[in-house]
């Protein structure tokens, strides 16, 4: 067996190495390095792609478009723009339009004050429209024509960063922009096709590099819209997480935190705060060995902490209070769901032993709510004489998603391969999520469902003090699932309300151990032996914890033998009835 009971240290990231770090970077050092530090120091893939888009020596065949999978936030755009400007040379001055009677001529700009001179070597816009992007032609009543510059003119000779979501909502803008950038020429057209331009306006040479920033869905939409565009563009991704394998990488991440704080003009981060931020970051990424690089998440946490500072620095106390305050603000729905369980409107048993009933763990995601909510759920299984069918009540009532249905089929395949090799299983089973009234999806309850079925088949009770989560394959191996922290904390809250017995706990897949970053309440309960977390690798391990009886054991009684004995008894009884019936039919024929 591969059963492990986790201690308090194993259910949270290792914070011991953080205390060894010295706060060697003081405020003066940070200020001195402000100009040299930029976002791309932590994004080598993006930096490499940018070097191809903006080479030191430009040639006619250099790519002009770059696709970047990254958040479309103003803060990210601002930091990204600053990083690009650090490595780009100054843009040419651009051009100027000169008005003379009824004629417009184009000349090269002589200063930044000229009407169409380039204003910067890199500009960005998360939201655009035709006028903002391309400028416009204005002709006031009884007045002279006026030309207004757009982003393409102000960034001419440099780089333009655009939010993809806004651009895709206006396909004509994207088509026009692409043609201009490829043709390297800006042509003035009337915004209203029924009213042509009053004067001929010379086209302007355009030398522009465009970076389109969007999430996975926006990039997929662009790929569907113009599949050939991907083959001629540079593609790269902003790395949302940093894998921590050494103290040097941890120091690199801490430097990133200080960089964000410095760019946002936030107070200094005290050394005591790093351990708390580290733990919260692993909880956000869902992995003890990965820390988030999300500029918006880091900025939000630090800004919230500034409201609770006591010594003009962001210390551990400020971070802890900010996290608790944010949790309280978001937890109304969470508390209402728990109240349903606490008042027995939703029944969860955490003390008895019941045949064919098990506490599963699930997460619920509500539209518009910022996070998933962990909630225990009761699964029950009944056995009756039949042809081996596994009746999934959720699927029968069309309340099951495709992945849930797949998990149920895998469970049925395991049961059939284990017990219906030489003859058909003489039982049918019905499995249901009790008090569930909406669609269920995912396979994280397949381990719980399979344990409930084996309990019902063997007629051996399951300890309701334990809850379980995990998926299984056709061979019974336990596989990792998501939302493990929320699931554990949801069951712990119920046990805590009903009274901790010391025997209560949660069974999770062994491969999920690295994803644990649990709350201080759960850690304290485990330290005091009031709650337990067990990891398993096979369904046999889970069944032993739940029933106290081995699944297969040659030295003594086991669940496998009990199920086979019950099957043989039913088959023998059925055979006797068939024999009696055949004799009666023969007698009647006489």
Compute φ and ψ for 240, nearest 5 degrees.
Answer: -75, -15
Q: How far apart are CA 298 and CA 302, in angstroms?
A: 6
Domain enclosing residue 99, as ranges: 44-237
pLDDT per position as a tens digit, 280-314:
999 999 999 999 999 999 999 999 999 999 989 99
Can you read off the two tokens belonging to residue 365? Answer: 């995601």
Judge whether 322 lies within some domain: yes
Judge whether 588 lies within some domain: no
Q: What is the DSSP string of 39-92?
A: GGGG-HHHHHHHHHHS-SS--TTS--EEEEE----HHHHHHHHHHHHHHSPPPP
Q: Taking 60 as the threshold, does the pLDDT of residue 435 lie above it?
A: yes
pLDDT per position as a tens digit, 192-213:
776 777 788 899 999 999 999 9
Can you read off the two tokens belonging to residue 195? Answer: 């009213």
Q: Domain of 92: which CATH number?
A: 3.40.50.300
Show which of 311, 330, 349 is a domain's final residue.
330
Residues 223 and 255 in one domain: no
Which of 537 and 18 is assigned the larger pLDDT? Answer: 537
Judge whether 513 lies within some domain: yes
User: 408-411 — which CB contacts under 8 Å span 24+ positions?
Assistant: 408/446, 408/449, 410/443, 410/446, 410/472, 410/473, 410/474, 411/446, 411/449, 411/450, 411/453, 411/472
Q: Taking 80 as the threshold, does the pLDDT of residue 583 lie above it?
A: no
Per-residue model confidence (pLDDT) at position 56: 83
Q: Is the dihedral of CA 506, 509, 511, 512 positive or negative?
A: negative
DSSP state of 383: E
Per-residue model confidence (pLDDT) at position 25: 44
Least confidently predicted of 81-95, 175-189, 453-467: 81-95
CB within 8 A of 309, min separation 6: which ones? 267, 315, 318
Q: Domain of 388: which CATH number?
A: 3.30.230.10
Show which of 197, 217, 237 is a domain's final residue.
237
- pTM (2 d.p.): 0.88
pLDDT band at 178 (very low <50, low <70, confident <90, very high): very high
Judge whether 580 lies within some domain: no
Can you read off the two tokens belonging to residue 317? Answer: 């106390």
Q: How far apart are CA 178 and CA 317, in angstroms?
A: 51
Strand 461-463 versus strand 353-355 pairing type: antiparallel
Closest CA to 203 of 218, 215, 186, 226: 186
Judge whether 570 lies within some domain: no
- Among candidate residues 444, 455, 471, 519, the one labeled active-site is 444
Q: How far apart are CA 248 and CA 210, in angstroms?
A: 35
Per-residue model confidence (pLDDT) at position 29: 46
Active-site residue, 396 included: no
How confident is the prediction for the chain on average, in pLDDT? 90
Q: Domain of 295: which CATH number?
A: 1.10.8.60
Residues 144 and 90 in one domain: yes
Which of 190 and 105 is assigned the larger pLDDT? Answer: 105
Judge whether 533 lies within some domain: yes
313 by Cβ neighbours in 10 Å (0-12 / 13-18 / 19+) ranks as middle
152 by Cβ neighbours in 10 Å (0-12 / 13-18 / 19+) ranks as buried
Show which of 303, 330, 357 is a domain's final residue.
330
Residues 440 and 536 in one domain: yes
Residues 385 and 437 in one domain: yes
Per-residue model confidence (pLDDT) at position 590: 55
Residues 254 and 381 in one domain: no
pLDDT band at 30 (very low <50, low <70, confident <90, very high): very low
Residues 460 and 553 in one domain: yes
- Among candidate residues 263, 279, 487, 530, the one labeled active-site is 487
Judge whether 579 lies within some domain: no
Total domain count, the chain: 3
- CB–CB of 221/174 below 8 Å? no
Other Cβ atoms less than 10 A from the Cβ of 405: the count is 16
Q: How far apart are CA 268 and CA 287, in angstroms?
A: 27
Per-residue model confidence (pLDDT) at position 490: 95
Residues 278 and 185 in one domain: no
Active-site residue, 166 included: no
pLDDT band at 223 (very low <50, low <70, confident <90, very high): very high
Strand partners, 209: 159
User: 363-371 — which CB contacts under 8 Å span 24+ positions?
Assistant: 363/482, 363/483, 363/486, 363/487, 363/490, 364/337, 366/333, 369/330, 369/333, 370/330, 371/330, 371/486
Residues 233 and 243 in one domain: no
Judge whether 573 lies within some domain: no
Residues 248 and 227 in one domain: no
Per-residue model confidence (pLDDT) at position 91: 76
Residues 362 and 389 in one domain: yes
DSSP state of 11: G
pLDDT per position as a tens digit, 117-146:
999 999 999 999 999 999 988 877 767 788
Residues 312 and 388 in one domain: no
Residues 346 and 326 in one domain: no
């Amino acid at each position: 067996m591969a059963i492990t009971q986790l201690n308090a240290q194993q259910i949270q990231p290792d914070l011991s190495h953080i205390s060894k770090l010295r706060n060697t970077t003081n405020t003066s050092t940070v200020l001195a390095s402000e100009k040299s530090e930029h976002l791309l120091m932590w994004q080598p893939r993006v930096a490499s792609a940018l070097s191809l888009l903006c080479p030191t020596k430009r040639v006619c065949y250099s790519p002009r478009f770059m696709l970047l999978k990254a958040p479309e936030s103003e803060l990210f755009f601002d930091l990204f723009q600053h990083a690009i400007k650090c490595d780009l040379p100054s843009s040419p001055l651009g051009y100027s339009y000169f008005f003379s009677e009824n004629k417009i001529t184009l000349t090269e700009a002589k200063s930044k004050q000229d009407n169409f001179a380039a204003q910067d070597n890199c500009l960005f816009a998360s939201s655009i429209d035709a006028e903002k992007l391309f400028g416009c032609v204005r002709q006031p009543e009884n007045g002279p024509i006026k030309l207004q510059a757009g982003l393409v003119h102000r960034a001419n000779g440099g780089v333009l960063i655009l939010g993809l979501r806004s651009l895709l909502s206006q396909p004509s803008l994207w088509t026009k922009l692409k043609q201009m950038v490829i043709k390297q020429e800006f042509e003035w057209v009337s915004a209203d096709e029924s009213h042509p331009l009053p004067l001929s306006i010379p086209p302007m040479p355009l030398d522009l590099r465009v970076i389109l920033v969007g999430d996975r869905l926006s990039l997929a939409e662009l790929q569907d819209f113009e599949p050939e565009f991907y083959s001629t563009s540079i593609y790269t991704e902003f790395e949302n997480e940093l894998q921590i394998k050494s103290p040097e990488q941890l120091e690199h991440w801490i430097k990133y935190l200080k960089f964000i704080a410095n760019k946002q003009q936030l107070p200094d981060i005290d050394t005591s705060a790093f351990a708390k931020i580290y733990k919260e970051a692993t909880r956000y990424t869902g992995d003890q060995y990965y820390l988030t690089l999300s500029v918006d998440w880091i900025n939000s946490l630090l800004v919230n902490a500034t409201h609770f500072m006591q010594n003009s620095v962001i210390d551990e106390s400020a971070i802890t209070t900010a996290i608790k305050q944010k949790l309280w603000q978001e937890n109304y729905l969470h508390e209402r769901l728990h109240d349903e369980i606490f008042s027995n409107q939703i029944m969860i048993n955490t003390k008895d032993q019941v045949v064919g009933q098990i506490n599963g763990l699930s997460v619920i995601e509500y539209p518009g709510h910022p996070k998933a909510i962990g909630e225990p759920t009761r699964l029950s299984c009944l056995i009756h004489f039949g042809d081996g069918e596994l009746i999934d009540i959720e699927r029968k009532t069309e309340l099951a998603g495709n992945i849930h249905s797949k998990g149920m089929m895998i469970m049925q395949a395991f049961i059939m391969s284990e017990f219906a090799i030489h003859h058909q299983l003489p039982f049918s089973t019905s499995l249901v999520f009790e008090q569930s009234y909406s669609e269920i999806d995912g396979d994280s309850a397949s381990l719980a469902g399979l344990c409930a079925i084996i309990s019902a088949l063997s007629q051996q009770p399951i300890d309701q003090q334990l809850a379980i989560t995990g998926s299984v394959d056709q061979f019974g191996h336990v596989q990792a699932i998501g939302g493990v922290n929320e699931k554990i904390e949801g069951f712990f809250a119920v046990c805590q309300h009903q009274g901790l017995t010391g025997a209560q706990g949660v069974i999770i897949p062994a491969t999920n151990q690295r994803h644990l970053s649990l709350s201080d309440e759960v850690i304290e309960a485990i330290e005091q032996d009031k709650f337990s977390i067990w990891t398993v690798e096979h369904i046999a391990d889970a069944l032993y914890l739940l029933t106290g009886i081995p699944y297969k054991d040659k030295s003594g009684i086991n669940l496998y033998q009990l199920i086979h004995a019950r099957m043989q008894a039913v088959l023998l009884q059925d055979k006797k009835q068939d024999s009696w019936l055949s004799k009666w039919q023969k007698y009647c024929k006489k």
